[in-house]
């Protein structure tokens, strides 16, 4: 579904990603792990086109989309749940969702079934929602683009533990629906609870690839690169 092949991404002259490669297959949930500053968000932004790699390739469904603008990559089948939610604050919940809708299996009604709270709050402006509600809205908005690959950047950030548990459960349900998911996450317990495989980033490089189960039991790797 998604292949990232040895990408190098810069901010100005700062060499942030140094040959990052990863792969997400159909129906698979892959976690991208690492400390703050390891390059997780830059990897997501490189895939979606916010930061274009200077070298390497991003391949979606067998098609090279490297260097294309974000709207073209989104239209090709990549949905993004961005770090910080980035919902349209003046718009209502329903307006945020309808704005993103593309044809496909995900409909407004299906999103409301997944997130009943959004149905209850559908006429409320985005800036009046709690953090957890905003995260639900950001996920629902991405799903309504009917992507083949869903990028989720730090979906648990800033949320209370009970809400994090709910978000983790929902992400697990999405994996069962068959969508391919790349999850960048600081919450190791939540990520390992839903992931099939993991890549660990450190200083812009992939330093380990492992199944979630094996990483869960690798105390040395977790201590060295994840601060656990």
Cα distance between residue 228 and residue 222, in whole Å: 5
Cα distance between residue 126 and residue 131, in whole Å: 10
End-to-end CA distance of the chain: 31
Nearest to 194 by CA among 4, 28, 22: 28
In 3-state terms, what secondary structure has residue 90?
Answer: coil
Show pLDDT as tens, one digit a residue, over the chain (228 residues). Answer: 899 999 999 999 999 999 999 999 999 999 999 999 999 999 999 999 999 999 999 999 999 999 899 999 999 999 999 988 788 888 999 999 988 777 788 999 999 999 999 999 999 998 899 999 999 999 999 999 999 999 999 999 888 898 899 999 999 999 888 899 999 998 999 999 999 999 999 999 999 999 999 999 888 888 888 875
Other beta carbons within 10 Å of 161: 10
Map out the domains of the chain with their CATH numbers: 2-226 (3.40.50.300)
pLDDT of residue 228: 56
Instruction: Note the Cα 130 to chain centre separation in Å.
Output: 20
pLDDT of residue 225: 85
In 3-state terms, what secondary structure has residue 79?
Answer: strand
pLDDT of residue 212: 94
Handedness of CA 187, 192, 196, 202 (dihedral sign): positive
Nearest to 188 by CA among 146, 211, 222, 144: 222
pLDDT of residue 223: 86
Handedness of CA 98, 70, 158, 226 (dihedral sign): positive
Other beta carbons within 10 Å of 120: 12
In this structure, are strands 180-184 and 14-24 parallel, antiparallel, or unpaired? unpaired
In this structure, are strands 29-33 and 197-202 parallel, antiparallel, or unpaired? parallel
């Amino acid at each position: 579904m998604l292949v990232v092949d040895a990408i190098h991404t810069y901010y100005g002259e700062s060499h942030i990603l140094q040959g990052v490669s990863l792969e997400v297959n159909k129906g698979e949930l892959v976690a991208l792990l690492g400390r703050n500053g390891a390059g997780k968000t830059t990897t997501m932004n490189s895939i979606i086109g916010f930061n274009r790699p200077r070298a390497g390739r991003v391949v979606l469904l067998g098609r090279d989309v490297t260097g294309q603008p974000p709207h073209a990559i989104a239209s090709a089948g990549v949905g993004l749940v961005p770090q910080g939610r980035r919902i349209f604050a003046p718009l209502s919940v329903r307006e945020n969702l309808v704005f993103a809708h593309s044809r496909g299996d995900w409909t407004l009604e299906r999103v409301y079934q997944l997130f009943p709270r959004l149905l209850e709050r559908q006429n409320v402006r985005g800036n009046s929602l709690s953090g957890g509600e905003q995260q639900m809205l950001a996920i629902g908005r991405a799903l309504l683009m009917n992507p083949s690959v869903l990028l989720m950047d730090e979906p648990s950030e800033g949320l209370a533990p009970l809400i994090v548990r709910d978000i983790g459960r929902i992400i697990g349900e999405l994996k069962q629906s068959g969508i391919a998911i790349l999850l960048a996450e600081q919450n190791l317990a939540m990520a390992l609870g839903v992931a099939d495989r993991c890549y660990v980033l450190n200083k812009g490089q992939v330093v380990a690839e492992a199944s979630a189960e094996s990483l869960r039991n690798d105390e040395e790797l977790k201590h060295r690169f994840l601060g656990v």
